[in-house]
Structure 1
Amino acid sequence: MWEETNYFSEKECAVLKFTDVLTRLERQPISDSVFNPLLEHFTKAEIAQLTLAISQINTWTRLMKTFGFTPGNFRVENN
């Protein structure tokens, strides 16, 4: 797990923690202990962009799991 290594900077750890929280989709709002470290490295506009990127990647992952896509093997079918 990323928390168990010292290979990541504080900035990277803040994003990884934020990614974990967004991916789990718990019912409560994002806590200050997760959000405030982001503010040390990013503007609110950048955090919004990170949120959209993380959300989009999570959507792609859920689509892949649902439909069993194999990465790199997409083919357009003509009907």
Structure 2
Amino acid sequence: MQRMDVTTVAPEAYHAVLGLEKYARSNVDHTVYELVKIRASMLNGCAFCVDMHTTDALAAGESSRRLFALAAWRDAPFFTERERAALALTDAVTRLGEHGVPDEVWDEAAKVWSEKELADLIVAIATINVWNRISVTTRKQPPTQE
């Protein structure tokens, strides 16, 4: 059962995070954006966000095969070099407490993303991590009906 609805209890906070969301959505490649959101949500165990973003990705034409492969993306041949760099960065940023962001992860991302693209990607990864933490903490549930 959901503990609270942050949108009604702290609407200003919700709108602040929504501002980051809108910025990131407008500045990161849509396909990469959804992959990053789904991967971080998987790592954070956020059922609400996994459901929402896989549904959005499928509606935008993403293949179910690639979505399923996100759980084991390092071993799956379905992702481009840029997507792989974004996913590696997502894993590192989402798991900051384990090792920070290793130089090799940063260097690979910096090879295939411009500095501005990389900055926008970091904002996107940070934003989905904020959403995940809000949703997991408040036990926000995905809709049970499609």
TM-score category of the 2 structures, normalised to the smaller one: 0.7 to 0.9
Contact 2:92 2:100 in 1 (8 A): no
Q: After TM superposition, give the deviation of residue 14 of structure 1 in Å.
A: 0.6
Q: What one-letter code is carried by the residue in structure 2 that aligns with 1:57?
A: I
Q: Which residue of 1 aligns with 2:104?
A: 33
Within a 5 Å distance, the mapping from 1:54-73 to structure 2 comes to 54-71=125-142
- Structure ID, larger Rg: 1
Q: Distance in 1 between matches of 2:140 and 2:80?
A: 33
Q: What one-letter code is carried by the residue in structure 2 that aligns with 1:16?
A: L
Q: Distance in 1 between matches of 2:137 and 2:124?
A: 20
Q: What one-letter code is carried by the residue in structure 1 that aligns with 2:118?
A: I
Q: TM-score, normalised by structure 2?
A: 0.46
Q: Distance in 2 between matches of 1:19 and 1:62?
A: 15
- Deviation digits for residues 3-56 of structure 1 (CA, Å, limit 9, x no counterpart): 111111111111100000000112654222101111221111211110011000
Q: Percent identity?
A: 33
Task: Quote the RMSD (CA, aligned, Å).
Answer: 1.9
**Structure 2: runs of 5+ lacking an equivalent:** 1-71
Runs of 4+, deviation exceeding 4 Å? none
Which of the numbers 72, 76, 86 marks the counterpart of 1:5?
76
Q: Distance in 2 between matches of 1:8 and 1:17?
A: 12
Higher helix share: 2
Aligned residue-pair number = 73
Q: Distance in 2 between matches of 1:25 and 1:41?
A: 22
If asked which structure has higher relative contact order (CA below 8 Å, sep 6+), I would say 2
